[in-house]
């Protein structure tokens, strides 16, 4: 089966129909010349569906020439009527995916990596974003090695909750930690982080080790301050809120 162009929103429905047509122990290779998300191209992919008893297993992988790389391995199980997929995504051009989303200049938005698991009802109807759920880790980087962000994400009811947000930059002597959310249906985001200026010794720790140090650094200094050994760390709290228009 070959698609010249396929919208990402229609992919679960196509997967369900193709799986239903497969005979027992049958397989179906698929090629997608261009996968689209809103008005953006995710490039070409190759996929394979295989029926095993009453379940349908599938794999999807971007071609090397695709501008964004995606690997997915999953299964739609009739026993619990759900589809589950483990995925890895990697792009060196986040700006191409943002569309109308304008993020603060302080955010590192040059590259993005994400990995985790997503699930959805096998017979999902209506807005796919609303029934999609899962957990994944993500990391982004800016245009220099000192600007990085990592977070743990939980997706449910059309909203991504960001926990354990931490990182470094944009200046070499800055570290931060915080939390936030992204409302996919409401098309809005909120993020709160505490910046702390660190000593030159701490900022000299090689990246990405500094990103892992960010949370521990603030927690340690806060603990030391409570014991009266030193003054409390000098921090600056920043809150961002933004919205974006729907893409065609």
pLDDT in tens, 12-52: 777 777 777 788 888 989 899 988 876 778 889 999 999 88
Q: Confidence band (pLDDT; 50, 70, 90) for 213?
A: low
pLDDT in tens, 152-194: 999 999 999 999 999 988 887 888 999 999 998 898 999 999 9
Three-state secondary structure readout of 85-145: EEEEEEECCCHHHHCCCCCCCCCCCCEEEEEEEEEEECCCCCCHHHHCEEEEEEEEECCCC
Structure pTM? 0.79
Is the distance from CB of 70 to CB of 136 less than 8 angstroms?
no
Give residue 215's pLDDT: 47
pLDDT in tens, 122-138: 877 767 888 899 999 99
CA 151 vs CA 30, 93, 181, 225: distances in Å: 34, 19, 11, 26
């Amino acid at each position: 089966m070959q698609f010249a162009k396929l919208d990402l929103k229609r992919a679960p429905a196509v997967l369900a129909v193709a799986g239903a047509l497969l005979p027992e122990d049958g397989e179906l290779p698929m090629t997608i010349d261009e996968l689209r998300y809103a008005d953006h191209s995710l490039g070409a992919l190759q996929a394979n569906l295989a029926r095993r008893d009453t379940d349908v297993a599938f794999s999807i992988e971007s071609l090397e020439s695709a501008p964004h790389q995606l690997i997915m391995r999953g299964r739609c199980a009739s026993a619990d009527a759900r589809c589950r997929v483990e995925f890895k995504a990697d792009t060196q051009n986040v700006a191409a995916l943002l569309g109308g989303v304008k993020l603060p200049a302080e955010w590192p938005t040059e590259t993005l990596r994400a990995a985790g698991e997503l699930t959805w009802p096998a017979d999902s109807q209506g807005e796919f974003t609303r029934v999609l759920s899962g957990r994944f880790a993500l990391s982004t980087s800016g245009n220099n090695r000192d600007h990085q962000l990592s977070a743990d994400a939980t997706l449910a009811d059309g909203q991504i909750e960001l926990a354990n947000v931490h990182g470094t930059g944009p200046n070499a002597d800055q570290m931060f930690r915080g939390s936030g959310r992204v409302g996919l249906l409401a098309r809005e985001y909120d993020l709160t982080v505490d910046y702390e200026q660190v000593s030159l010794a701490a900022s000299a720790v090689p990246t990405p080790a500094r990103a892992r140090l960010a949370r521990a650094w603030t927690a340690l200094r806060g603990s030391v301050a409570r014991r009266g050994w030193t003054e409390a760390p000098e921090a600056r709290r920043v809150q961002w809120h933004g919205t974006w228009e729907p893409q065609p």
